[in-house]
Amino acid sequence: MNLPIKKKRQPSKLAHAQASAIGVAKETKKAATKAATRLVAAQAALPPSQRKTMTTIVREVNALYGSYLNNKTISRYVRAGLVGVSPLKQGPVGDFPKPIYDALKGAYSTYLKLEQAESIKQSHTGKLTKKVNKCVNKAGFQKTRDDLARKLKRDTAHEFEAGKGNVQESRRVMWTVDN
């Protein structure tokens, strides 16, 4: 008899740290892919006796960036003309075009940073979900669930640091800031 494994909820600080690590890894992979494709494309201009193999280039880039790129992927990108471009997104096409989603990520992180800078009580996930949905629905999309807000939270996690606030410092700020 197989009993189902009970899934436990992670503490918020640990969940944030994991999401942040994933964000940093994505940024590293982007930079490594761009560098590798540029180096491979630049090798075509050299005489055959001075060229490095693609495997050597990818190995050097992986060592430099601490990434795990595959030389076949880099070869495919160069053949397709995707030199110096971020890696293609895996999975199905999302609801938003990339420029719009990137602008939404920027607006989301800016809002949270401003909210933190004011040292007021910060919005909880439900309130953020309503604000995000209201924003995208105004632009003509139909969102009612919290999936977009959770995705934005996950994709911007590397821009923030989670931790407990200093109660004494927050009280001091409240008394010294003019309202």
Q: What is the pLDDT of residue 179?
A: 54
H helices of 86-124, where?
Answer: 98-117
Q: What is the pLDDT of residue 166?
A: 67
Q: What is the pLDDT of residue 94?
A: 78
Nearest CA to 128 out of 142, 141, 139, 115 is that of: 115
Q: What angle do CA 61, 89, 19 make, to 5 degrees?
A: 80
Q: What is the pLDDT of residue 8?
A: 78
How far the first Cα of the chain sits from its last, in Å, is 63
Q: Which two tokens stand for residue 73?
A: 């992927």
Where the chain has pLDDT below 50, the residues are: none
Q: How far apart are CA 155 and CA 53, in angstroms?
A: 35
pTM above 0.75, yes or no: no
